[in-house]
Chains A and B, each alone.
Chain A
Amino acid sequence: MSEPAAPTPSESGIDHYRRRFLKRLGEVGAAGCATGMAGPAQGAWGGSTFQDALGSFFQQQYQRMTPEEIDAALRRIERRAKRERGVEITCEDTRPIPGVVFGYALNISKCKGYRDCVHACVKENNLGRDSQVQYIRVLEMEQGTANLERSEHYYDPATVPVAGKYYLPVQCMQCDNPPCVKACPVKATWKEPDGIVVVDYNWCIGCRYCMTACPYWARHFNWTEPKIPPEELNRNTNYLGNRPRPKGVVEKCHFCTQRTRKGRQPACMEACPTGARIFGNLLDPDSEIRYVLANKKVFRLKEELGTEPKFWYFTD
């Protein structure tokens, strides 16, 4: 891993022209704002000021933005959260750590189906509460089979685990060969240098072709404006991770980039009461995950599809 995925702007002619063109549009808009629309226009422009609405409309894809443009985008996100939800959030551009590729291993003999990971994830990643989007789905499997079609997604007994069942949590596998990235017509989703597949929620057009392409049902669409009670909003956010999302775009598990890129555990691992989850740097030969891969009998879901998941399962 060399430098983190800095949005090194290619200084090609077209790129230069494009940036000048967009900048000018922005200036025209700003001028229009100064003359005609003094003061924040509450309610209009999707709860933004005219200037912010214009700024995010003409915002470029993350990888093509200059550091200044990224900074402006982050401030817009913070202002919007303040204006719309009355919450002071911080939004950072958390970069991948050089020399790190993340991987996950899950011990299915330890998983008891408590779904603590699911709920921790919902809170940490600011998932819409009414839409019931969840990045992790725990499947209740019948002993004696690994057939997903015989799994129960909505198990709700008084206590878990239930005799005769085992539990298989599924989330984004952060494939090394991700079919969703190939599918996207506008490159709104890509694999970062630390192996995490991310979405630029400001660039996604909402065609949902990536959802069609994903073999793990890991991608979720905001069918409506995601609603979160302001007091429950996680205020530590980052651009490619858990910042509040608009309606009409796709989102997915991003291995808690806002935490893991700062050396913390993903929320699902921290929440797991049984220690079934092991997360770490695949490039570090001394990491726990490397120990699991070297010493346990591991398997991956749908390995025959050639997507090379970086999410392994194992048993004691």
Chain B
Amino acid sequence: MPLVRFLLDAVRAMFRGGRAYWMWLGALALIIAIGLVAYAVQLRDGLVVTGMSDQVSWGFYIANFAFLVGIAAAAVLLVIPAYVFHRKDVKAVVLLGEALAVAAVITAMLFVTVDIGRPDRLWHMLPGIGIFNFPTSMLAWDVVVLSGYLLLNLALLLYVHYSHYRDREPNLALYFPVVVVAMFWAISIHTVTAFLFSANSARPFWNVALLAPRFIATAFVAGPALIILVLQVVRSTTRYPVSPSVIDMLALIMTVALQISLFFVGAELFTDFYNESTHAASMRYLYFGLDGLNALQPFIWTALALNIAAVVILTLNPLRRRMALLNAACVMAFIGIWLEKGMGLVVPGFVPTPLGEVFEYSPTALELAVSAGIWAIGALVFTLLAKASIAVELGDVRYREPRGTTAGLGAEIPARASRVS
């Protein structure tokens, strides 16, 4: 079975590496272990171990979820140039982008799972034996689009890599339709996630039509920022060729997206504050505090400062061209968007409560430990997928007809023609 051999060879490639690679895997495993212990405590005692309350009933977990769906969607920024505009340089790294999407979707789904009070009852969602409130519930929509996106990307990754493993060109007629679906699907996952929030007329802070466009714009900032940084790590730690033109393209997209998303922020601030109504209370709480309570103020002003600094670097050509400054802008924008779209979006929706109570939330250490564990799982999934992908694409792992004693040594054969150059 070549497919089984492919999977075995891929797994073998995932766990072959130097000292630094193993230290990285070990560090991730350690963080995951700590996260698991923290989650076990949460399962035993209930969600009371988090900082959440009836007042602020979603917190850090859902904040990370919203952010990560954006990262997953941003893979489309490699898919479109690679497959629609036939950019060879982008096509060379598009599989890494898809691997990142897979890792991000899995991470996002894990964040929802740990937020659920009764994970033992998740089967209640399965159509047939359970009840799936589709299409009425936006949460049901989110489950559909996220699992669909995961499957689409996994299928693409599997098919293209398997073809390369067998030294064949993947059949474009077969997978291009999937690519097209995946493109629209990428936009849909983040739109639906935005609708999950904006659907709530009980929460004026989210109940705005601008939320979905804002989600897409910020996703196209944080996503490329992460991809730019990851591609540089790949370039410096492997023989995998990453063309500078890809990074230039992503930096340009990120620049425009950040300009647009800052414009959106301004538009919301104007609308809320020019004639300040009670609907602006959450916004006031976020930026200035309410009743002397202002836990989110540092988050949002830090986010704003980071995003403005990043947009200055990105907008000025001479600055953006300098790799060190570009990297600084990527880090700043990634953290800035994470703060703005995570804590800065989810928590103020609950403050004040629909009955006007101002009650603050901040994550507990346990909540942070669980979250760190989930992020580490995401990093681990991406690392392993990328490792296998690079091994296949460089030709380090190739299918060999099983012939007596050489059987099973496929992975050991030295590199042949590399897929990428």
Which residues of A line the B interface, CB within 8 A?
A: 14, 18, 21-22, 57, 61, 64, 133, 137, 139, 147-151, 153, 170, 179, 182-188, 203-209, 211-217, 219-225, 247-250, 302, 305-306
Contacts and interface: CB of A to CB of B under 8 A. Distances in A.
Contact of B117 (A18, A170, A187, A221): A221
19 contacts: A18-B128, A61-B124, A149-B281, A179-B200, A183-B199, A185-B140, A203-B121, A204-B117, A204-B118, A205-B122, A205-B124, A206-B117, A208-B115, A212-B203, A213-B199, A217-B353, A217-B354, A223-B47, A225-B46
Most chain A CB neighbours (cut-off 10 Å) among B125, B201, B278, B281: B201
B48 interface: yes
- Which 8 residue pairs across A and B have the least CB separation, nearest first? A206-B117, A248-B117, A148-B356, A215-B202, A149-B356, A223-B48, A224-B48, A224-B46
Overall SS of chain B's interface:
loop
A185 B117 contact: no
A57 B136 CA distance: 26
Nearest to A19: B129
Contact of B201 (A150, A250, A305): A305
B121 A183 contact: no
Contact of A223 (B46, B112, B133, B140): B46
Interface of B: 45-48, 52-55, 57-58, 112, 115-122, 124-125, 128-133, 136-140, 143, 196, 199-203, 278, 281, 349-350, 352-357
Contacts of B118: 204-206, 248-249
A83 to B, nearest CB: 19
Contacts of A215: 201-202, 354
B196 to A, nearest CB: 8
B117 A247 contact: yes
A179 B201 contact: yes
Contacts of B350: 212
A207 B202 contact: no
A184 B46 CA distance: 21
Given A185-B139, A214-B202, A225-B46, A220 B54 contact: yes
Contacts of A213: 199-200, 202
Given A204-B118, A213-B202, A215-B202, A149 B352 contact: yes
Most chain A CB neighbours (cut-off 10 Å) among B47, B118, B199, B201: B118
A207 B117 contact: yes
A221 B57 contact: yes
Contact of A147 (B48, B58, B139, B356): B356
Nearest to A22: B129
A186 B117 contact: no
Nearest to B143: A185
Given A149-B278, A149-B281, A224 B45 contact: yes
A219 B53 CA distance: 12
Given A186-B133, A208-B58, A208-B117, A151 B355 contact: yes
A185 B281 contact: no
Contacts of B125: 185-186, 205
Contact of A248 (B47, B112, B124): B47
B122 A223 contact: no
Given A212-B203, A213-B202, A248-B117, A21 B129 contact: yes
A247 B112 CA distance: 18
